[in-house]
Amino acid sequence: MPQVVLVNPQIPPNTGNIARTCAATGTELHLVGPLGFEISDRYLKRAGLDYWPYVKLHCHESLEAFEVVHQQRGGRCLGFSVYGSFNYANFQFQASDWLLFGSETTGLPSTVLSTCDATLHIPMFEKNVRSLNLSVSVAVSLFEARRQLGYLQ
């Protein structure tokens, strides 16, 4: 099953909402530091409600620490960016994919994007709207991957 990776998330409620989505779908959630908040943050906990025991949470202190885990487990790293090369809806997901998302303010660093196996974007109709909320982007992308892989049956 695809896994969700948040690189340097900054806003606790977004991460809490993403954790809730991951709990509901049985998806592993990887947080890559530095984080813009403490894991004990009350807004993070509040957004995740009482679902935290169901979150398969992994915290990595740095990109380097995350990369060690990724290399051990294998799979493609798919970076999501407004500048991504592929429309996420037309991309063929695999069960071993890692879905990488950057911080709410800066997105994924170019150094991370350049190491991804592919970069994906969510198309926007209105050109003046730069992006969706991070938790919405994760949910849309994760559910499309799950749909393609037959996990919504």
Quickly count helices (H) and strands (E) in the chain. Answer: 5, 7
Domains of the chain are 3-148 (3.40.1280.10)
The verdict on whether residue 39 carries a ligand-binding annotation is: no
CB 22 within 8 A of CB 56: yes
Q: Position of tokens 């071993």?
A: 96
The verdict on whether residue 131 carries a ligand-binding annotation is: yes
Helix (H) or strand (E) holding 80: strand 77-80
Helices within the chain (DSSP H only)? 12-25, 42-47, 63-73, 110-113, 134-148
HSE-up of residue 39 (Cα within 13 Å, Cβ side): 12
The verdict on whether residue 102 carries a ligand-binding annotation is: yes
Q: What is the CA radius of gyration of the chain?
A: 14
For residue 109, give every residue at least 6 positions away whose Cβ sits within 8 Å of its Cβ, in sequence order, or none. 7, 102
Question: What is the pLDDT at residue 47?
Answer: 58
Averaged pLDDT in 10-residue chunks for the chain of 153 residues: 96 91 96 86 64 90 96 98 96 98 94 97 90 95 97 87
Identity at 55, one-letter amino acid code: V
Question: What is the pLDDT at residue 46?
Answer: 66
Question: What is the pLDDT at residue 50?
Answer: 76
The helix, strand and coil proportions of the chain, stated in percent and rounded to the nearest 5, come to 40, 20, 40
Distance CA 9, CA 60 (A): 12
